[in-house]
């Protein structure tokens, strides 16, 4: 049976779980557990069988690890939605390095490395869990993603709706680029017509 001091110890947890977010709750729980470690171990040994708890924790950890390895392999085997016959270029990372030197008013220089990403226009899909473009994914919370077999979100994601104009087109980034270039050409033709008339 819980004493009044034990139930009073649970009040901050209830307060934190109601008003705080998940990071606050986990941080508070960790610090409270660290501070009251001896009380926690006495509580655990009094009410539970340590051998059974360790067996359940080991089994859960092994199952979770196997699930994550299977998810990783599924992500690596995932093919792009573009057929091989219509797309001869593949998305790639290019390791690059840039440098800058200034001599005036004071000598200064720096250099750094970065990855340049090349994605062929019109390509949609994901490659090896690394790069994806215009791939339709329904967002879900991280805690549901942990226990599903759906592959992880790729490291580098290009979403056509975030570039050039707002909104999404049926053809993705390629359609938006075509629309943008047509508008620029029509603007240039209008300027040329105006210059010819004057």
pLDDT at 59: 94
d(CA 131, CA 156): 5
pLDDT at 112: 95
Q: 15-29, 141-155, 180-194: lowest mean pLDDT where?
A: 180-194
In the block, which residue shows the tokens 């759906």?
A: 150
Beta bridge partners of 110: 100
**Six token digits for residue 112:** 């750094």
pLDDT at 111: 95
Burial 91-106 (b: 16+ CB within 10 A, else e): beeeeeeeeeeeeeee
**Six token digits for residue 113:** 């490395």
- Asked if the model's pLDDT at residue 4 lies above 70, the reply is no
Residue 16 vs residue 69, higher pLDDT: 69
pLDDT digits (tens, 9 = 90+) for 59-97: 999 998 998 888 888 777 766 655 555 566 778 889 999
pLDDT at 58: 94
pLDDT digits (tens, 9 = 90+) for 94-114: 999 999 999 888 899 999 999
Residue 95 vs residue 174, higher pLDDT: 95
- As a 3-state breakdown, the chain gives helix, strand, coil percent values, each rounded to 5, of 50, 15, 30
Determine how β-strand 108-118 pairs with β-strand 156-158. Answer: unpaired
Q: What are phi and psi of 30, to 5 degrees?
A: -60, -45
d(CA 124, CA 102): 42
- pTM for the full predicted model: 0.49
């Amino acid at each position: 049976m819980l004493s009044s001091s034990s139930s009073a110890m649970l009040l901050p947890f209830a307060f934190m779980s109601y008003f705080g977010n998940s990071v606050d709750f986990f941080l508070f729980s960790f610090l409270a557990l660290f501070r009251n470690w001896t009380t926690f171990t006495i509580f655990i040994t009094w009410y539970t069988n340590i051998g059974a708890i360790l067996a359940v924790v080991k089994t859960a950890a092994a199952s979770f690890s196997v699930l994550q390895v299977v998810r990783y392999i599924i992500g690596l085997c995932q093919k792009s939605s573009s057929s091989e016959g219509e797309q001869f270029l593949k998305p790639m990372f290019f390791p690059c390095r840039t440098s800058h030197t200034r001599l005036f008013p004071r000598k200064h220089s720096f250099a750094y490395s970065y990855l340049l990403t090349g994605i062929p226009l019109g390509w949609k899909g994901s490659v090896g869990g690394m790069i994806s473009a215009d791939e339709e994914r329904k967002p879900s919370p991280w805690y549901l993603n942990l226990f599903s077999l759906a592959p992880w979100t790729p490291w580098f994601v290009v979403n056509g709706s975030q570039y050039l104009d707002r909104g999404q087109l049926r053809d993705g980034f390629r359609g938006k680029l075509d629309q943008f270039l047509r508008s620029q050409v029509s603007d240039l033709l209008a300027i040329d017509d105006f210059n010819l008339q004057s």
